[in-house]
Chains A and B, each alone.
Chain A
Amino acid sequence: DTGVSQDPRHKITKRGQNVTFRCDPISEHNRLYWYRQTLGQGPEFLTYFQNEAQLEKSRLLSDRFSAERPKGSFSTLEIQRTEQGDSAMYLCASSLTGEISGNTIYFGEGSWLTVV
């Protein structure tokens, strides 16, 4: 059983460019989450999906950010017109709802974004 995988692991981009991150959750996990983590801080919730439906978005998710999960499996997080303040690690996580699983959330290794 593979864990949550993210791609790319590292991305350096120029200010104003668009970037896209991909996340493949653990197989059969119906929930998928995106978090952002800046240096020295804990992760902050951005958004989550149940299957293909985006159920909640944080106020941190500005209009330049968009996330999709078109078939309820993998997800993409796109940042348009990147700014230096977007530099962070973007973490994807997944979980399986239900009492047996305990709704435990499992994280990927993250995608580091540096905007120069």
Chain B
Amino acid sequence: GDSVTQMEGPVTLSEEAFLTINCTYTATGYPSLFWYVQYPGEGLQLLLKATKADDKGSNKGFEATYRKETTSFHLEKGSVQVSDSAVYFCALSGGAQKLVFGQGTRLTINP
């Protein structure tokens, strides 16, 4: 079945550092890919998405490119802030239209 594998955390960075969180997937067909963010005690917020190969999703300085050849959707940000501290989930949506999530990566940014 469909699955998502994320870089294991936790990840700790200093403010203004470059961020990469790796995500790879296994799916039949051509899924849509998503990054969701979860702040402490809250539900999930959609961060960005890409619906076809080579699409780049972007939001709030975060970017991810749908790479079909490497089945990857890595999340990047050029300069992180303390307010980016959260848990980040990579997910895919296949033909059944339901989301399959990775295990999440906890990110902590120190001032």
Q: Give the Cβ gap from A99 to chain B, nearest Cβ, in Å.
A: 10
Does B13 count as interface, using CB distance less than 8 angstroms?
no
Q: Which residues of A contact B45 (CB under 8 A)?
A: 107
Q: Is the CB of B49 within 8 A of A40?
A: no
CB contacts between A and B, total, < 8 Å: 57
Q: Which residue of B lies closest to A48 (CB)?
A: B98
Does B69 count as interface, using CB distance less than 8 angstroms?
no
Known contacts A42-B103, A102-B51, A107 near B36 by CB under 8 Å = yes
Q: Is the CB of B89 within 8 A of A42?
A: yes
Q: How far is the CA of A42 from the CA of B73 in the complex (A)?
A: 17
Q: Is the CB of A103 within 8 A of B32?
A: yes
A residues neighboring B (CB under 8 Å) = 4, 6, 31, 33, 35, 40-45, 48, 56, 91, 93, 95, 97, 102-110
Q: Give the Cβ gap from A23 to chain B, nearest Cβ, in Å.
A: 11
Q: Is the CB of B49 within 8 A of A45?
A: no
Q: Is the CB of A104 within 8 A of B100?
A: no
Q: Which residues of B contact A48 (CB under 8 A)?
A: 97-98
Q: Give the Cβ gap from A7 to chain B, nearest Cβ, in Å.
A: 13
Q: Is the CB of B44 within 8 A of A45?
A: no
Q: Is the CB of B43 within 8 A of A33?
A: no
Q: Which residues of A contact B44 (CB under 8 A)?
A: 43, 91, 93, 107
